[in-house]
Amino acid sequence: MDAYEDRGSHHVKRVVLPSGKTIEVVYFKDGVDAEPDQDLHACVTCESKLVFPTFWEEADHESWRVALRCPECETEREGVFNQATVDAFDEHLEAGTDALTADLRRLCRANMAEELERFAAALEAGAILPEDFRVS
Using pLDDT thresholds of 50, 70 and 90, give the confidence band for residue 1. very low
In this predicted model, what pLDDT tens digit does every residue of 54-104 receive, in sequence order? 999 998 878 999 999 999 999 999 999 999 999 999 999 999 999 999 999
d(CA 75, CA 2): 35
Which of 22, 1, 11, 24 is closest to 62 using CA atoms? 11
d(CA 124, CA 116): 12
d(CA 83, CA 90): 10
**Domain range summary for the chain, segments of one domain joined by +:** 1-30, 34-126
- Whether 10 has a pLDDT exceeding 90, the answer reads no
d(CA 131, CA 44): 61
pTM of the model: 0.62
Asked if residue 74 lies in contact with residue 26, where contact means CB atoms within 8 angstroms, the answer is: no
In this predicted model, what pLDDT tens digit does every residue of 19-32 receive, in sequence order? 889 888 877 665 56
In this predicted model, what pLDDT tens digit does every residue of 75-88 receive, in sequence order? 999 999 999 999 99
d(CA 100, CA 121): 32
